[in-house]
Amino acid sequence: MDFNNIETSTRQRAAELQVEREKQFESASINHLPIEILVDIFDLCLPFSKYDSAVSPTNIRWVLASVCLRWRYTVFGTADLWTRVVVSTNDGEISIPALFRFLKNSADHLLWVALVETEETSLEDARPLIDALVHSSAARWKTFGLHVHQRSWKCPPFLTTLLSFPAPSLEEFYLTPIHAVADSTEDLQHLLERWLATQCPSLRRGAISLKYDRSPFLFSISMTHVTVFTESDAFSKLRQCPSLLELRCRRKACIPLAVNPPGISHQMLYALTDSYGLVRSLNLPALRFLELYPVFNGRNVDTAELAAFLRRSKCELNGIVIQEPTIVHEPRFIQDVLSPLSRSLVAFGLLVDSSEEATYATYEMLFKFLTHTSSTSSVLGKLQAVMFIIRAGNPTIYELIAEMLRSRLRKSRTMDTGVAQLVAASVFHEEGKVIVQGFSDWENEGLQMIGPHPSPVSFWHGPWMDRSSILVPLGIWKQLFS
């Protein structure tokens, strides 16, 4: 038997089958799409950052590139698909050559970099890979997220080396320690201050947070703060920031660190303190965004105090979020708080309680405000987005919002002035499935349904004042605001 002929025949048959498969694949509908559409589809195939390891041999990019030659050229020829670099201690075997191949495909584009430490393993175990990543690409880092699962109160040793490299293009930095950082952690504080101030000239936004959410970048990008401080320190620092643009008052536990890098401290500040104390004593004329949360162990802000703060500061808010349901039901809320902001407000968010009584009260307040056309008082002229944060499954609110939108749309078509153009409304809810009736006819008019929300109600991303829609968690962020 001629084994050489058999082997040759087998190879020829295999080659013929491969050619036949490629021809069949090339005739598939997806391959008739333009390259730019194909790239968008590939982009949607990318998983959340937590599962998008740059050094994994099963990374979806390599899988897509192995399908056919056209897909291979598309994936390797599109640098934007390779700009998110995630290194996790769960990656198993660490391959520096795999990392270099990944970075090579990103060309010279700016990078989003995330280093993720798990409970089982430390980033110290990935030290060679991190060193290679820093030395080969730090000049191109635009966003850097560091998730440290450090149980010790001591500064992790690898941070000393990591937070010393020059990052001239870095615009955003997020540090998320799982466990609380103690007052005595001065090493970490000084290390961050020195690195952010001396090595990151382009830094615009930073965050230190205990919050670990499944955001598009793993880290809580809703916290656009650069300073984390105690309540007593909050007031003194805030009084030194007359040009403050954004202020968020939450009831989360405070991390007693004071990282205050120059250049961005007056742009966005995150105040972990009492909402009532802030609006009662501060004067912030440049403020453009205000977010208030309920205070469970203290006194909440009421309409009179909030109105007095706005009059005293004379600030023209572009966005206001009130997650204290009682204040929006006060009789003078529209006249004293919302109407003075009617010429500047573009986004308004509020918390809707689960009870039907509270739902109807919220609906009546909003409907009155959004459809108010009296010539004797201010009217809302620029509102672009309304966000409803539903405390729990509440089907009643959806029907009421639908009716409110119908009324707004009808009026906007018949009136030239005096009525806002409601561009988008996003609905968040905490639990349960969404069953909506009456929305289908209005989806194209700017309504967007989001749900179910995977996190607690007190979760809302920013900044969004310059957007025409409220941004939302998970992958929808990238679709709307990338």
Mean pLDDT, residues 112-129? 77
Instruction: Say if residue 456's pLDDT is above 60.
Output: no
Q: Does residue 267 or residue 6 have the better pLDDT? A: 6
Instruction: Give the C-alpha separation, 114 to 147, whole Å.
Output: 8
pLDDT in tens, 402-417: 665 565 555 444 344 3
Position 419 scores a pLDDT of 41
Instruction: Say if residue 109's pLDDT is above 80.
Output: yes
Position 441 scores a pLDDT of 32
Evaluate the omega torsion of the peptide bond into residue 395 and state whether it is cis, within 30 degrees of 0: no
Mean pLDDT, residues 17-34? 66
Position 479 scores a pLDDT of 32
How are strands ordered across the β-sheet holding 447-449?
Answer: 268-271, 246-249, 289-292, 319-322, 347-352, 385-390, 424-429, 447-449
Position 122 scores a pLDDT of 73
Which of 479, 477, 395, 394 lies closest to 44 in space, CA to CA? 479
- Please tell me the least confidently modeled range out of 11-20, 24-33, 316-325: 24-33
- DSSP for 329-378, please give it: GSTTHIIIIIGGGTTT--EEEEEE-SSHHHHHHHHHHHHHHHT---TTS-
Mean pLDDT highest for which of 118-122, 137-141, 149-153, 360-364? 137-141
Q: Mean of the per-residue pLDDT values for the chain?
A: 61
The pair of three-digit structure tokens given for residue 20, joined into one six-digit string: 């036949």
pLDDT in tens, 240-251: 555 555 555 543
Cβ neighbours, 10 Å, residue 194: 13
Q: What percent of the chain has pLDDT over 70?
A: 43
Instruction: Give the C-alpha separation, 60 to 269, whole Å.
Output: 37
Place of tokens 């961005």: 264
The pair of three-digit structure tokens given for residue 79, joined into one six-digit string: 């640098």
Instruction: Give the C-alpha separation, 314 to 294, whole Å.
Output: 24
